[in-house]
Structure 1
Amino acid sequence: MKNTIAERVADFLKDYPPFQFLSSSSLLKISGEVQVLYYEKDKPIFKEREKNTGVFYVVKDGAVRLYRTENQEPKIVDICDEGDLFGLRPLITKEDYELSASANEETILYGIPIELFLPIALEHKEVSNFLIASFASNVQDPYSLEESGKLFTEYSVERNSEIFDLQKAKYSKNILTCTPDTLIKVAASKMSHRNVGSIIVTEENKPKGIITNKDLRDKIATGAFQISDSVTKIMTRPVRCFHKDPTIAQAQLIMLKNDISHLCITEDGTPDSDLLGLITEHDIVVSFANNPVVLMKEVKLAKRTKRLRNVRLKVSQLLKKYLSQNLPLSQILNILNEINYAITVRVIELALKKMDVSPPCKFAWLALGSQGRKEQLLLTDQDHAIVFENVAPEDYEATQNYFIKLARHITRALHKIGYDYCPADMMASNPRWCQSLQEWKNQYDIWIKDPTPESQLLSAIFFDYSYVYGDTELVTSLSDNILDTLDQNNMFYRVMAKDAIRSPSPLGFFRQFLVEEDGEHKDFFDIKSRALMPLIDAARVLSLHHKLRNINNTAARFERLAEIETNNKEIYESCSYAFKALLKFRTKQGILHGDSGRFIELATLSKAEKLKLKRCFKPIQDIQEILTVRYQLK
């Protein structure tokens, strides 16, 4: 007799990772054990520091907010909606929940027992790969921006455009072994002589136990056992085994799940068959030849632009992989922007070596626009500027010419790497955007005190700058001057706010998508101007009003605003989530169609994708209402 409920569950799950990688029979088996759970709005699902329930969740309908408590206040770190998976990491690592989860609206969840899912997952390479990506890219919380310094781990890698952790794991066949009656001191001497960290205890070539340096430290050095005892006294048993030819992801997942650093390879994957080899944690690390850390080192060692271009191509491959694994956008942005900034720094260093003389004075290179906001994922055009130290009037022209020449070297190199020249020439090679500190101050004063349509357009780019290279004091001085000038010209906030609400609404009266009415992109949806820019513009004006420093990323700006204006906390947090979801969606579309992802053909989207897009539009209306009231725009 057919299980119609299981079939309906399977029909839903098959469209989402990692279930899309499962065979029909495996998926139906899991679906037959799924718990269908209903939660009213704000009802908790689990809480921080609670023991995990042995079940992870997939959102069927509705939405779930994940948050942590800071200073007795909840801080949202992500919102999961249809098809999103959460609550998995604590089950794999056998830890308590690090985040709380509750229904953001009326929600239906599918609860999946990990004990049923994990054995099936280990038999599917793509699923193993997904599980690694879902929790191993970050040692603490995979959603938190504050963890960006811990994102460069051994677990995220791309090699020659292949998904490297789906390749076979290399293992040592020259294994150090001993028999059960061997004395501990003899086994330790063998390990020392071979300079290895483990020895396998075998009987008739079948693994019976393992001794590692940790065993010698914890059991011998402490005096718990004597070196004259046999190895059976301190060996760990039974040993964890796997059949031959595991993938890197499978080997790594087993080590993480069982908290071990050595994995025996046997004929049939059990301790009852012949020992074939040994995989160590070190072997896994060595296998990752092109992880983000290695790419950063490659950038620093690069002597030519061609090598930097190769790194940037690998970054593009990493982006595709991270998106396919559904990693949180905050992770992706942090990893890729660190590498992109390192590439720019190296380009500047190489360009300086091409100059005949050293710089005549201190200077700083500024990234503008999306790169300045650290939101650049796809290769786009260049937007940058140079600010140099004030010099005597008679030296100004020669100083500016020096830095324009330097900028031309840099822009040419960036173009070779893959960044197009800016069509509007908003680059440091343009004398207008290569000026002394005082000239830049004068320029911003004009924009703020006497706003024009051109200055409003430029403010969307030049008020989102970030330091890349050179003297930080120049940038600090420029920022101080901008904030001081804004203090004396509050009407400029109103001008910026009015511009921020001018962007067309994403939806019509009947909640249909508003599309382009004519031109090359007729009937396409402009996700940049109708969805992303209203959030970017709103975050900018509110951040300037609150004098937020060194926070240029739109999502991060909203998160900081949520801390400052607690009465609007929910709206700001929703804006942060919506922006990340929209940017991720645009990036995926750009990769899929080989363009910027700005214009979307709605007919190509699934019902679920359209629903996710529409969920992101409500915060746009809310934030524009805040701007309208605060700056009296009506």
Structure 2
Amino acid sequence: MSRNVHSVSPADAVEILQRTMPFSELPQDELMSLAKVCSIDFIPAGLRFIEQGKTAVDYLWIIQKGGVKSYLINDDGGITLLDIQGEGGTFGALAIVRGSLANFNVETVEDSFFYRISKQDFQSLMGRWPAVAQFYLRTLSDAYVHKAFAELRRTRHPADSGTRLSLFATGVGEVVRRELATINADETIRSAAERMGRAGVGSLVVLDGSAEADKSEVAGIVTDQDFRDKVAARGLSVELPVREIMSSPLLAVDEATLCFDALLTMMKNQVHHLGVRRAGRVQGMVTAHDFMTLTGRSPYSLFKDIVGETRLDGLARLAKGIPDVVRALFEEGARAGKVGRMVAVLNDLVLERLLTMLQEELGPPPLPFCWLSMGSEGRREQTIRTDQDNALVYQDYGQDYGQDTGQDPKGADADLKARADEYFARLGRRAGECLVDFGYPRCPGGIMAENPKWRMSLSAWKRQFTEWIARPEPEQVLFAGIFFDFRPVFGYVALGEALRDYVTPLAAREEVFLRHMAADCLRSRPPLTFFKSFIVEKDGEHKDALDIKGRGVLPLTEFGRVMALKHGLRETNSLDRFKALAELGAISAEFHSELREAYEFLMQVRIASQLRQMDEGRQPGNHVNPGRLSELEKRTLKEAFGVIGRMQSYVRETFRLNV
């Protein structure tokens, strides 16, 4: 064995340290001090120079040139490959941090040169910079992921120093501006109006008992709108007790709740006032106006306009403004998960207003129905607008609810079926046309409610899912992957919930079907070479770019789906699925954290790229050029792809896939 250890030029060492996480985050003087204690070592190809459980790790190793593989040897002699690293890769830190022998084997795959930092010097560095140890304790360290998120945001909004009070950094308690105004439930409507006028407020919290918030239970809320809608419009006596016009219960959140989440709660529940709890009791109030004042461009203003819109052309104009909300939220510092939830609320509201208007145009439906959203919208993960993915389920036309046998009906049932077929065909067609006008392109695969294949009775849908699960052929698995993420969004939602009640336990017990679904998680490999360089398109429209959706986001959503089906979970959102799996103990807390951070970072890079493409006058797509990312962003992106590799190994083992 040839081993040559030499001192190294500090300038050369600084150069590589500046390109290597986490050292690239250290100040220049610290890097120079570290460079002075580096040595350089050469190890020829094919040498296993660190052995798991045997080698005392006395150095942190940084690959200057060449490459290594790290692996475990199992009790039965089998080998589990852990990682392949090229230039800039590091190893040895975890054993030093934990004070253990080597955790795995390391072998050179070609002649390699390394920078080495002694255990004592590395421990001294960690003493001065604890974040260095934290980086190695977690692959996707919070500190560095947050910095990578911040860099993505700065590339979009460089003038923003990040000090602005925002929806994503402010607890709702900080927005409360005045003492809580209250009234007893037995006091008169006249007294309530006078008190609101004197206090200059638009609402009063109604208390059941003493009119002191800390001594009484909150019964509800009365607002100036209640005076307009319930007193003036209905001619009620102002001498009636205020409990007659109050809204109950009062919706409230804890003071530590982020303003974004509080705003989302208001929008979902279509309320304008929200109680704020301190120490378990309502002691403050915030309004939609408070949030608009906070940011100057709250999504709530668009939300209010959509709620009040009564014309299709006006609704189209408002729907086309939703991508601007994505831009504003991104520049405020929102992560992709929160953006998706906000966009889902707005999209759902657009759909609700559209289908309400279409029912006014077409008349009442002959049968109760439920509109289903699928794909990214079903998962509440839509950002920049994508294609339509929707379907429709209606009540069985048989006399006994849920007893549609699939046979051609006769008599009155046949007439009802004919009317239902005609009505829902017109509704699906008109909705599809309008959604195109609103900026939502038709699904290229025809997965829309205007397609008769995806417009069925509840019993027919049950038969369809049963067939997909029973015959897990490629086309069936493809459709199941799309439709299993359905979410009821409008109409008689109990129909959608009934379908979910049927499908969830059915899928969980079909092991063959689940194995076919699991195999989908393995189709797209992370776009990294043997030595962790990005694999990009060599020519064509997407030259020098990689498909971040197909090679990154999609495998993670497919993993969340199949694991949710396996464990009988009803969640459709990927982040919610990861969380529920961790709470069940199906995945470890550490793996959950890695999945969450990887998914959100991949989505964040995708959004940033799409916004940049729009700024350049191009159609937003899913290909990202890594060359336009910072070193920190590229490193974090590689780590995120590394999580996908570990996820795929987990899937192979869990579902016994020898792929």
Q: TM-score scaled to structure 1, two decimals?
A: 0.58
1:540-559 equivalences in 2 (<5 Å): 540-549=561-570, 551-559=571-579
Aligned equivalent of 1:607: 631
1:47-126 equivalences in 2 (<5 Å): 79-81=142-144, 84=147, 126=160
Relative distance call for 1:80 and 1:354 in structure 2 (3 A) is farther
Aligned equivalent of 1:504: 525
Relative distance call for 1:61 and 1:600 in structure 2 (3 A) is farther
Aligned equivalent of 1:330: 337
Q: Confirm whether residue 390 of structure 1 aligns to residue 422 of structure 2.
A: no
Deviations 1:464-492 (A, max 9, x none): 11110111221122112223432452210
SS in 2 for 1:423: coil
Q: Paired residue for 1:365, among 368, 371, 392? A: 371
1:212-231 equivalences in 2 (<5 Å): none
Question: Once the 2 structures are TM-superposed, how far is the Cα of residue 290 of structure 1 from its aligned partner?
Answer: 5.4
Amino acid of the structure 1 residue aligned with 2:366: P
Question: Once the 2 structures are TM-superposed, how far is the Cα of residue 514 of structure 1 from its aligned partner?
Answer: 1.9
Aligned equivalent of 1:109: none
Deviations 1:555-613 (A, max 9, x none): 11111111112652311221122111111110111111123441112322222221121
Aligned equivalent of 1:513: 534
Aligned equivalent of 2:584: 564
Relative distance call for 1:575 and 1:440 in structure 2 (3 A) is same
Aligned equivalent of 1:475: 496
Amino acid of the structure 2 residue aligned with 1:303: T
Instruction: State how far apart, in whole Å, the 1-side matches of 2:292 and 2:638 are.
Output: 44
SS in 2 for 1:468: strand
SS in 1 for 2:172: coil
Aligned equivalent of 1:380: 386
Q: Confirm whether residue 624 of structure 1 aligns to residue 631 of structure 2.
A: no
Question: Once the 2 structures are TM-superposed, how far is the Cα of residue 293 of structure 1 from its aligned partner?
Answer: 2.7
Aligned equivalent of 1:446: 467
Amino acid of the structure 2 residue aligned with 1:581: F
Relative distance call for 1:59 and 1:337 in structure 2 (3 A) is farther
Aligned equivalent of 1:246: none
Aligned equivalent of 1:534: 555
Q: Confirm whether residue 581 of structure 1 aligns to residue 601 of structure 2.
A: yes
Question: Once the 2 structures are TM-superposed, how far is the Cα of residue 436 of structure 1 from its aligned partner?
Answer: 0.8
Q: Confirm whether residue 296 of structure 1 aligns to residue 330 of structure 2.
A: no
Q: TM-score scaled to structure 2, two decimals?
A: 0.56
Aligned equivalent of 2:172: 139
Instruction: State how far apart, in whole Å, the 2-side matches of 1:543 and 1:527 are.
Output: 23
Relative distance call for 1:457 and 1:283 in structure 2 (3 A) is closer
Relative distance call for 1:440 and 1:154 in structure 2 (3 A) is farther
Instruction: Report which stretch shifted further, 333-342 or 286-295.
Output: 286-295
Amino acid of the structure 1 residue aligned with 2:370: A
Instruction: State how far apart, in whole Å, the 1-side matches of 2:200 and 2:454 are.
Output: 58
Whether contact under 8 Å (1:536, 1:554) holds in the other structure is yes
Relative distance call for 1:458 and 1:61 in structure 2 (3 A) is farther
Whether contact under 8 Å (2:595, 2:643) holds in the other structure is yes
Question: Once the 2 structures are TM-superposed, how far is the Cα of residue 128 of structure 1 from its aligned partner?
Answer: 7.0
Whether contact under 8 Å (1:524, 1:600) holds in the other structure is yes
Instruction: State how far apart, in whole Å, the 1-side matches of 2:289 and 2:466 are.
Output: 58
Amino acid of the structure 2 residue aligned with 1:632: R
Question: Once the 2 structures are TM-superposed, how far is the Cα of residue 60 of structure 1 from its aligned partner?
Answer: 8.4
Relative distance call for 1:331 and 1:486 in structure 2 (3 A) is closer
Deviations 1:221-254 (A, max 9, x none): xxxxxxxxxxxxxxxxxxxxxxxxxxxxxxxxxx
Instruction: State how far apart, in whole Å, the 1-side matches of 2:146 and 2:531 are.
Output: 26
Deviations 1:424-457 (A, max 9, x none): 1110000001111111111111111012211122
Question: Once the 2 structures are TM-superposed, how far is the Cα of residue 344 of structure 1 from its aligned partner?
Answer: 1.2
Question: Once the 2 structures are TM-superposed, how far is the Cα of residue 366 of structure 1 from its aligned partner?
Answer: 0.4
Instruction: State how far apart, in whole Å, the 1-side matches of 2:525 and 2:343 are.
Output: 31
Instruction: Report which stretch shifted further, 556-565 or 307-316.
Output: 307-316
Amino acid of the structure 2 residue aligned with 1:557: R
Amino acid of the structure 2 residue aligned with 1:139: V
Give the length in aligned residue pairs.
417
Whether contact under 8 Å (1:504, 1:529) holds in the other structure is no
Question: Once the 2 structures are TM-superposed, how far is the Cα of residue 77 of structure 1 from its aligned partner?
Answer: 13
Instruction: Report which stretch shifted further, 407-416 or 77-86.
Output: 77-86
SS in 2 for 1:476: helix
SS in 2 for 1:386: strand
Q: Confirm whether residue 457 of structure 1 aligns to residue 478 of structure 2.
A: yes
Instruction: State how far apart, in whole Å, the 2-side matches of 1:358 and 1:197 are.
Output: 44
Amino acid of the structure 1 residue aligned with 2:485: D
User: Structure 2: any 5+ residue segments left out of the alignment?
Assistant: 1-13, 19-26, 34-92, 100-128, 151-157, 178-194, 202-210, 213-258, 260-286, 399-408
Instruction: State how far apart, in whole Å, the 2-side matches of 1:341 and 1:584 are.
Output: 22
Relative distance call for 1:592 and 1:390 in structure 2 (3 A) is same
Aligned equivalent of 2:234: none
Whether contact under 8 Å (2:395, 2:458) holds in the other structure is yes
Instruction: State how far apart, in whole Å, the 2-side matches of 1:372 and 1:300 are.
Output: 21
Whether contact under 8 Å (1:447, 1:455) holds in the other structure is yes
Question: Once the 2 structures are TM-superposed, how far is the Cα of residue 140 of structure 1 from its aligned partner?
Answer: 7.6
Aligned equivalent of 1:416: 437
Q: Paired residue for 1:130, among 138, 148, 164? A: 164
SS in 2 for 1:495: helix
Question: Once the 2 structures are TM-superposed, how far is the Cα of residue 363 of structure 1 from its aligned partner?
Answer: 0.5
Relative distance call for 1:412 and 1:512 in structure 2 (3 A) is same
Whether contact under 8 Å (2:526, 2:642) holds in the other structure is no
Deviations 1:104-135 (A, max 9, x none): xxxxxxxxxxxxxxxxxxxx994476343442
SS in 1 for 2:142: strand
Amino acid of the structure 1 residue aligned with 2:391: A
Amino acid of the structure 2 residue aligned with 1:319: V
Relative distance call for 1:575 and 1:197 in structure 2 (3 A) is same
Aligned sequence identity (%): 28
Whether contact under 8 Å (2:508, 2:565) holds in the other structure is no
Instruction: State how far apart, in whole Å, the 2-side matches of 1:629 and 1:485 are.
Output: 23
Relative distance call for 1:563 and 1:128 in structure 2 (3 A) is closer
